[in-house]
A = this chain, B = another copy of it.
């Protein structure tokens, strides 16, 4: 295998939005990236505090003072990460439209096909509809070439990342009935964000488990659009998220009906072929647990053929904050900057 010549450049990046989990995870990964200098981390509500005041694990590692996001507009930046809630992020994208920096938006504001679909599912008017035509859906396993050329990445949602990767080999090969897709998904609590609420109160999560957003979760349409694009026929997805009493991790269990003959050997080959040159997707021989990927950029997938019921069950496990958010953003950054895609993404899962 020919190795790419490693660049010695240092790129300047800004993280807009320091408070949340994706902000702190971006910082964690970028701190250890050999070609990156974190020039700014911004927070309007905590401006002037140290980053490690908000996230004490960074004490002595990243004590940088939090800036207002105003500063990045007037400075030379190579990449700007927007770690903001949806609905807020689009304002920044609009403002930064003419900035030379590449933008990686971790919110849901530019993931869908059009402002109309956005407004239907997010129930909010979009302030920058022009952005959609330039935005690239940042799932490197599917869109590596587009990502390399892009200047605006819509970083995928956590559930969609796991859901799409669990089914992509089947969809791309036209092997399943596209209206048969049922995705039963389970996420750790960090998916609900850092804000204190009844939902995130320990006593409502610990020793508990429940479904939420049944039939209405916004990630449904994101998954449908991507599966439709892959399969070149309309996908209809039943998506049910559940809340796990753990910090990190998403596991999706997807049920589909094949169009023709199937067997376990054939099924596995389809997955191995599809992910042959994708370094962060591991095709497993046993059902993975979320702890097998925790703290890493890996997505573990496991396809199973149930001969009795004639259904395919495909499972995928990711760390929702990493492959489902922060490390995926860095993966996109590597591609956009022409770096080797694995650069700075060598974290080994933390288990136990």
| Residues of A participating in the B interface, judged by any CB pair closer than 8 Å | 21, 24, 28, 31-32, 55-61, 182, 184, 186, 189-190, 194, 196-198, 200-212, 214-215, 236-238, 240, 242, 244-249, 251, 253, 255, 282, 284, 286-296, 300, 304, 306, 308-309, 311, 313, 315, 317, 321, 346, 348-352
Do A182 and B57 touch (CB < 8 A)?
A: no
Do B238 and A309 touch (CB < 8 A)?
A: yes
Residues of B contacting A291 in the complex (Cβ-Cβ under 8 angstroms): 57, 204, 207-208
With A196-B196, A206-B246, A290-B210 given, is the CB distance from A60 to B282 under 8 Å? yes
Docked Cα-Cα span, A227 to B208, in Å, equals 28
Residues of B contacting A57 in the complex (Cβ-Cβ under 8 angstroms): 291-294, 296, 348-351
Docked Cα-Cα span, A203 to B203, in Å, equals 12
Do B59 and A210 touch (CB < 8 A)?
A: no
Q: Given known contacts A28-B348, A204-B352, what 8 new A-B pairs fall within 8 Å (CB)? A: A56-B284, A57-B293, A59-B282, A196-B198, A207-B246, A207-B247, A210-B290, A215-B306
Do B350 and A350 touch (CB < 8 A)?
A: yes
Interface pairs (12), CB distance under 8 Å: A59-B282, A59-B300, A184-B255, A189-B203, A190-B203, A196-B197, A196-B198, A206-B206, A208-B246, A211-B287, A214-B313, A215-B306
Do B215 and A202 touch (CB < 8 A)?
A: no
Docked Cα-Cα span, A200 to B60, in Å, equals 26
Q: What is the copy number of this chain in the assembly?
A: 4
Residues of B contacting A308 in the complex (Cβ-Cβ under 8 angstroms): 215, 236
Docked Cα-Cα span, A198 to B195, in Å, equals 8
Do A55 and B351 touch (CB < 8 A)?
A: yes
Give the distance to chain B from A12, nearest Cβ to Cβ, in Å. Answer: 20
Residues of B contacting A215 in the complex (Cβ-Cβ under 8 angstroms): 304, 306, 308-309, 313
Residues of B contacting A286 in the complex (Cβ-Cβ under 8 angstroms): 56
Docked Cα-Cα span, A282 to B58, in Å, equals 11
Residues of B contacting A196 in the complex (Cβ-Cβ under 8 angstroms): 196-198, 200-201
Docked Cα-Cα span, A249 to B210, in Å, equals 11
Give the distance to chain B from A141, nearest Cβ to Cβ, in Å. Answer: 15
Residues of B contacting A197 in the complex (Cβ-Cβ under 8 angstroms): 196
Choice from B59, B202, B212 contacting A287 with Cβ under 8 Å: B212
Do A290 and B60 touch (CB < 8 A)?
A: no
Do A209 and B289 touch (CB < 8 A)?
A: yes
Do B352 and A190 touch (CB < 8 A)?
A: yes
